Amino acid sequence: MPGENLSFPGRNYLFAPGPTDLPQQVQNAMICPQEDHRAPDFPELVKPLLKDVKKIFKTTKGTCFLFPATGTAGWEIALANTMSPGDKILTTRFGQFSHLWYDLSCRIGLDVDLIETEWGEGVPISKFKSALAADKKHAIKAVVVCHNETATGVTSNIAALGKVLKQLKHPALLMVDAVSSLASIDFRMDEWGVDVAVSGSQKGFMLPAGMAILGFSPRALAARKTAKCARCFLDIQDHINANKDGYFPYTPSVPMLRGLRTAIDLLLGEGLDNVYARHHRLAEGVRLAVKAWGLKPCAKSPKWNSDTVTAIVVPPSVNAAEVIHIAYHRYNISLGAGLSKVAGKVFRIGHLGDNNEARMMAVLGTVEMAMRDAGMRIKPGSGVAAAGEYYRKTAKEIKKFGSAKPPREARTATKKQKAKSKSKR
């Protein structure tokens, strides 16, 4: 394409909904000498880390696991450690990632009861309630859903689904993909009755891809004793045996663990409620920009809007892939592509992780240019103005260090400064 430039000054602007940008503090933490993962003091890193990751899941009852793998492996870890071949599960498909978890379930030998849902909508609570109520013999062993469907920018009401299971007194395990929601959108494992929560390192945790992060409830842990699905590398029992002493059953990525330690410190330092509020505010700005452009999100209703990613529908005469192509090759900015059923119909802006107003204004301005270059009739500056005014008017809502204490590194620096000051006196 004329005008393309493959050699750019500056850095690439990453606005895919994962992987996300790494905070400088996280990058610094990961640049470390290689360590002995069997060293006597290694548990000093591992034990507090496993304890603190539970705070992100909002669980006191659950047990968390860190696998050197991805979210996809997390799906298999969830099912293989709790189910047996032929077990029936209930799920729905309303985007590419909910489809892939369904596909994985079929391929490992489970009997899957699938509820088809229109892409752009979320988990159909009423249909799930009917299916579970009709299951008098409790043949359904697990309910498997995505909290945030990354492909369409849709967030579902997991709390309501948990209430349905409780009201019906149905014993099925509730398994939730929280890969693109955890550490960005409010998630309450214990309160909502989630039995297995699956996440990954490359989104809200602001790390490179390569770590599957899971939480198992006591019920899910008990299910492993009768689960007969084949498993070896993905067996949580090996982690249970090793983690209690502060180690792993095989070689972990220590730089990833160091990065996770810093990422959790940053999240808890900001305060989880503030993290969620920041994500909502940034997402609202993007949604106002989309409206100002005269476009619509893939989410069919505001109740489905995701605070981590917005999938934007382009006019039928435009191929969304061209917008993405122009944005990348001409302006050095990465957007998320439409997947499967929405390929070519949407492009996605990720607004999760280490983001603020300035970065969102940058992506919105660049997207305007790319859309106009692709032939879309967008009024220059319309989306930027709408988002900018919203961010400006709501700037006073920002609260720094929402928790009682600032991040660990800030506390450490303060202590050193005080000690230095005393020595001078």
* All domains of the chain in start order, with CATH: 13-21+271-397 (3.90.1150.10), 24-268 (3.40.640.10)
Per-residue confidence (pLDDT) for residue 396, from 0 to 100: 78
Model pLDDT for residues 360-381, shown as the tens digit of each residue: 999 999 999 999 999 999 999 9
Dist. CA 241–CA 260, nearest whole Å: 22
Task: Evaluate if residue 418 carries a pLDDT over 50.
Answer: no
Task: Evaluate if residue 407 carries a pLDDT over 60.
Answer: no
Per-residue confidence (pLDDT) for residue 411, from 0 to 100: 42
Task: Evaluate if residue 319 carries a pLDDT over 50.
Answer: yes
Share of the chain above pLDDT 70, in %: 91
Residue 97: which of 173, 192, 198 has the closest Cα?
198
Q: Tell me which DSSP letter residue 405 carries.
A: S
H or E stretch including 218?
A: helix 218-223
Residue 276: how many CB atoms within 10 A of its CB?
16
Task: Evaluate if residue 2 carries a pLDDT over 70.
Answer: no
CB 234 within 8 A of CB 67: yes
Q: Give me the mean pLDDT over the 189-218 stretch.
A: 98
- Is residue 188 very low, low, confident or very high in pLDDT (cuts 50, 70, 90)? very high
Model pLDDT for residues 233-284, shown as the tens digit of each residue: 999 999 999 999 999 999 999 999 999 999 999 999 999 999 999 999 999 9
The residue that leads in pLDDT, 111 or 3, is 111
Residue 213: which of 42, 44, 29, 50 has the closest Cα?
50
Per-residue confidence (pLDDT) for residue 6, from 0 to 100: 54
Residue 302: which of 317, 294, 291 has the closest Cα?
291
- What is the token pair recorded at 75? 């799906």
Model pLDDT for residues 335-356, shown as the tens digit of each residue: 999 999 999 999 999 999 999 9
Q: Tell me which DSSP letter residue 123 carries.
A: -
C-alpha distances (whole Å) from 173 to each of 95, 116, 117 are 22, 20, 21
CB 207 within 8 A of CB 263: yes
Residues 128-167 as b or e (16 or more Cβ within 10 Å = b): bbebbeebeeeebbbbbbbbbbbbbbbbbebeebbebbee
- Is residue 8 very low, low, confident or very high in pLDDT (cuts 50, 70, 90)? low
Return the bridge partners of 216, or none.
Answer: 63, 196
Residues 385-416 as b or e (16 or more Cβ within 10 Å = b): ebbbebbeeeeeeeeeebeeebbbeeeeeeee
Dist. CA 24–CA 146, nearest whole Å: 30
Task: Evaluate if residue 143 carries a pLDDT over 60.
Answer: yes
- Is residue 11 very low, low, confident or very high in pLDDT (cuts 50, 70, 90)? confident
Average of per-residue pLDDT values in the chain:
93
Task: Evaluate if residue 404 carries a pLDDT over 50.
Answer: no
Task: Evaluate if residue 297 carries a pLDDT over 60.
Answer: yes
Model pLDDT for residues 32-77, shown as the tens digit of each residue: 999 999 999 999 999 999 999 999 999 999 999 999 999 999 999 9
Q: Which residue is associated with the tokens 């900018």?
A: 388
Model pLDDT for residues 146-185, shown as the tens digit of each residue: 999 999 999 999 999 999 999 999 999 999 999 999 999 9
